[in-house]
Structure formats: C-alpha cells, structure tokens
Structure 1
C-alpha cells in the first residue's frame, strides 16, 4: 500500500475494517472513533466486542452470505455497541475477498445512521427482537429463531413501540434509521 493509499484508508469518512474469519486485522481512525476503542484494543480481536450479546454476534454471522458467495456486496442496518456499551445504529456494508469462503477475508464499512443515542435502554430480548425486526422477520419467524412463542414476540414488539412512543414498527425502524 502506498502512503497515499494508507492516508485515504485512515481518513475515510466512514469506518473501515478488514477481517479474517471475524477477527479484526485492520481498521481506520473513523472506525476507532465510532466504536470508542484504541487500535491496540481491536486488532486481533473478535468482532464479538461490537455486539451486545453472544446471540446477536452468532445470529448475524450468516446474514448476507449468499450475495457474498456470488461476489456481490452486502448491505444492512444493525444495532452495535461502543466500547462503553452504548448502542449505535449503523449502516453496514461488506465485500468479501474470498467468495468461496466469504468470512475468510472481508472488507467492511460502517456509517452511523444517527449520532444520538439509540433511544431508551433496551433489554437483551428487546435488542434481539429489534435486530430481527430490522431484517423484516415476522413474529412467527422471530419466535422460531429466539425459541419463543409468537405471542411473546408480539408482547416484546408492543413494549418496543411503547418505549419509543411510536404507533407502528415501520415508524420505529424509520426513527432508528434517522429517516
């Protein structure tokens, strides 16, 4: 990498990271500032540090693998965690350098959707449901993933709407995405 390439990488206006099998191998200054870490705290560490729970980290692993296997980029929006535990809503983009084994080496970008806190404090279950809502899953689908009844998922959805003082999931997701 030339000095100019390194300068561009370090000062890109979005967080950039290179991972190998979900281990952070390189990241830029914007990424460090976004997540509140020092480079020495992240390089060589699992991406698990940036998720609220082990379950979130494992659930999200397989999302987007199909486009990556076809050498296409993958984009979504996800709730992640800063070093101090505060949540941030990010626009996530990924492109694999190894389509045959997509997680072997990936270039990732992260952009904050909303610089403000993500709203009220959420329980781990509420975070799980919010993550799955952002992926467009139904209560029945979420129930299967989370080993809950669809009725329990509906109760969690209702609590989320009340906490965020909105009348629908569409408005909730729109507010969280800064729309």
Structure 2
C-alpha cells in the first residue's frame, strides 16, 4: 500500500499524467495488488453525500451556463422592486430566492449559483455617484444576504444540508 501511495503521490506532485488519471489509480491498483476489494475502493470514491454534492455542483454550473441566474436576477428585481427603489424589499427578495434555491441544492452550490445573481442585481441598479458610501454598504448587504440565507435554507431539507 505504501508503494501505491508513493507512486500516486509522485504522479500527483510531478503531474506526469493528468490529475484525473492519477486520482483514479487507487481504484484499479488497490484491487490489483490485493490491498482492498474493488467494491470498498469504489464506495470510497462515490459515497452518497459526495454524489449529492457533485450533482448539486453540476446543476449549479448548468444554471449558470444557460443564464438562469440572469433571468432569476431580473425576475427578483422586477417582483421585489417597486417604482421607487426599495432596498429592503430587494434584500428580502434576494433572501427568499436564495433560501428557496438552497433548499434543493447543496449549500455551497447554492451560494455559487446565487453570487452571480447578487452581482447581476447590483449591476442593474442605477449608479450611485452622489452616494458611493451608501452603495458600498448596500453591496455588502446584498452579498451577506446570500451568505446568510444559504445555510438557513439548507437546513430546511436533507438535500440542502447533505446529511444522511
């Protein structure tokens, strides 16, 4: 086992082969040398929680690729912003949206997906040339809204938290 680990470590450090190939070496080397069964090694690679997190990241990347985050940002601003801009309602809308998304995705994946939504909302706001300090505080509040709403929404379902 020490020899296999040294071999994989050397390949990892030197990048003699691509890292995905290096990371899969124990999957076929451990059973070949009789260190562990193929089932136990494969189970270590694809645990239920790892699969859930991986699926959430893939879903978040698909959402970003097809610009769902832009549509979400536009709809949040349309629904929660009145004719005079109400920052409290905008933060509430972003918080509710992040809460809902985090219920169905893993917390980290939901935060990864909602950060472009938050920055998209900030880009849609009119420039605050006369009040840059106020806009800076509002920008921080928007980012903190995503950061705090993500774990709160995640604890409401098993999918969001990733626990078994």
TM-score bucket of the superposed structures, by smaller chain: under 0.3
Instruction: Give the structure with the higher percent helix.
Output: 2
Q: So what's the TM-score if we normalise by structure 2?
A: 0.24
Q: Which has the higher contact order (CA 8 A, sep 6+)?
A: 2
